[in-house]
Structure 1
Amino acid sequence: MTDTPDGPRVLSPRDEARVLFAYEVEHLRRKALALLPVDPAAPRGERLRRTLALKQMVDELVEHAVVAEREEGTTWSQVAAAAGISKQAAHERWTGGVNAWAASGRSLFSRDSHHSTLDAAQQLDRVYADHDPEHPQHAVSSGLDAVRFPGTAAAEAARRERATGLHARLAVLSKQITPAYDEWSRLNDVGARPEARAEVLTRLAVLHEESAALYEELTGAEPELADEHRDSAEQARRNSGSRREHAELLADAARTGAASAGAAQGDGDRT
């Protein structure tokens, strides 16, 4: 967690999700307000196109809301109840966005950005207060953990660093898994020997097992998203098991082929 003279530049993941949601709400407000004027000279269909673009922004805002809810500790059952759909439907619809948020570092700005999330929150404070004199002066920033509990910054930084390291290791594994699958496809296309294909599948199984172990570690480093990490770990274990089972079948085929070839050679030598 990098600090600025006025406080931490990167806040807790929960604060980051809260400010991201508020930031996107303000972006949506400006886009919606831009639809208010009547322009008789506008191209045909322009109003509809801009409205549909606004609808897309609303859909994205819903995803940000789910991320913020999950960071708050809201369960998938509670998310589903709020959306009026089943838990399975909610999970299928939004778990991808939550996983992407986790993989990207759970921050409003990238790690190499010079922007401060706390500064962004204070800017949103001013926007909200200027919109209506009756609005509170610190509507966004006053609700953040960084403001309410400044002493938690060190602990949050340690957790974030641990999670960042685990995600970095997962990214390395992902870069190894993709070319391994490419190699597997190539060997299939050229009809390579079963033992060669089995070797690639075994390598993939090991990579998936390592991924599963890292996701299990992430359940401790990012307990708010433990459900997502357990699901990813289970999927990685299923992938590993499937690859190993296929590799064993190919290895058996290779041994059977070798035995048949040996028997045929022996028959030829006797004739």
Structure 2
Amino acid sequence: MTDTPAIPETPRVLSPRDEARVRFALQAERVSKTALDLLPINSAAPRGERLRRTLGLKKVLDELVERAVVAEREEGTTWAQLADAAGISKQAAHERWAGDVRAWAANGRAMFPPDSEHSALQVAHRLDQVYADLDSRHSQDAVSSGLEAVRFPGAAAAEAARRERATGLHARLAVFNEQLTTAYAEWKLLNDAGARPGARVEALARLATLNEEIADLYEELTGAEPELADEHRNSAERARTSVTSNREYAELLAAKAEAAPAITSSEGN
């Protein structure tokens, strides 16, 4: 009697590439439904209703474009290639969509939160049926058959380990970003109130320290999430630029504070 090899268990959370692909497919379904809803002609509809609903279609279509960019980046498509596909410059493409990619990364690169009862694979199987029902010539597994979780189920453990490391870094990043928001609000209050230079210098030093920590975390994320390394490096660079700005302004305030007593003494004499 021979033992039957165990079938690898399909993970509930798929690879970021798979999650982004299913997320795009789900939005494509929403676009199709929204477009089909425009087919009926209602002669009693209020003036402007047709345009209003058409603009609603444009909104879900714009989101489909954003999800396409995220899925492309997860697959290794460069910003230059995305710019070429869109017929715009690389800089314009980055300015338009980099924020969407960063937001996707910050949310864990998954369709649903960890405690959700839903999964991307469930959505993929449902979309399989939706697509098959549209035309009898369509494949019965057009969505799920393209997923790595289905094609290479043995890679789940490696993906889980990478996700765990990245999740930890993003959790730390979220904490530092909250602290940065609070520290910036405190700095603004001190600055608007014309607080003594010493207090403002301390606040700027706090901002510089937090931005430095954030930059270091983004550098670590380039290794944990190599597909999104460009985004993480750009974020690290922005944080380091803020560090330089914070420290230069702090030095300027400190110099003014030191010069103030000398000026006052000179005026008194």
TM-score (norm 1): 0.93
Partner of 1:66: 69
Q: CA deviation at 1:257?
A: 2.5
| Structure 1 runs, 4 residues or longer, greater than 3 Å off | 258-261
Give the letter aligned to residue 105 of structure 1.
Answer: G
**2:93 is matched with which residue?**
90
Kindly state the Cα deviation for residue 48 of structure 1 after the two structures are TM-superposed. Answer: 1.0
1:162 aligns with 2:192: no
CA contact (8 A) 2:11 2:156 kept: yes
Aligned twin of 2:112: 109
Post-superposition Cα deviations, 1:150-181, rounded to whole Å, max 9, x if no partner, equal 01111111111111111111111111111111
Show the counterpart of 1:202.
205
Amino acid at match of 1:245: E
Distance 2:48 2:143 in 1: 37
Give the conservation status (yes or no) of the 8 Å contact 2:30–2:60. no
Question: Aligned partners of 1:44 and 1:6: how far apart in 2?
Answer: 55
**CA offset at residue 115 of structure 1?**
0.4
Please name the residue that 1:44 is paired with: 47
Matched, 1:190 2:193: yes
1:56-98 Cα offsets, whole Å, 9 max, x none, are: 1111110000000000000000000000111011011110111
Distance 1:189 1:95 in 2: 32
Distance 1:116 1:180 in 2: 37
Q: Confirm or deny that 1:216 pairs with 2:225.
A: no
Partner of residue 178, structure 2: 175
Cα distance in 2 between the residues matched to 1:117 and 1:187: 47
Give the AA of the match of 1:128: Y
Q: Which runs of 5+ in 2 are unaligned?
A: 1-7
Q: How far 1:6 sits from its partner (Å)?
A: 6.3
Listed one character per residue, the Cα deviations across residues 92-126 of structure 1 (whole Å, up to 9, x for unaligned) are 11101111111111111122211011111000001
TM-score (ref. length: structure 2): 0.94
User: Which amino acid is the alignment partner of residue 182 of structure 1?
Assistant: A
Q: 1:244, 1:132 → 2: CA distance?
A: 63
Deviations 1:177-233 (A, max 9, x none): 111111111111221111110000011000000000000000001100000000000
Which residue number corresponds to residue 38 of structure 2?
Answer: 35
Give, in whole Å, the separation in 2 of the partners of 1:188 and 1:109: 41
Aligned to 1:253: 256
Equivalent residue number for residue 78 of structure 2: 75
- Size of the aligned set, in residue pairs, is 262
Moved more, 35-44 or 139-148: 35-44
Cα pair 2:207 2:246 within 8 Å, conserved: yes
Does the CA contact (< 8 Å) of 2:10 and 2:156 recur in 1? Answer: no
CA RMSD of aligned residues (A): 1.6
* Per-residue CA distance 1:120-139 (angstroms, 9 max, x = gap): 10000010011111001100
Aligned equivalent of 1:7? 10
Identical counterparts, % of pairs: 68
The question of whether the paired residues in 1 share the 8 Å contact of 2:19 and 2:110 is answered with yes
Amino acid of the residue matched to residue 94 of structure 1? W
1:243 aligned residue (246, 251, 257): 246
1:127 matches 2:124? no
Deviation at 1:7, TM superposition (A): 2.1
Q: CA deviation at 1:47?
A: 1.1
Q: Give the 3 Å change call, closer, same or farther, for CA 128–6 of structure 1 in structure 2.
A: farther
Conserved? CA contact 2:128–2:142, under 8 Å: yes
The alpha-carbon deviation at position 256 of structure 1 amounts to 2.1
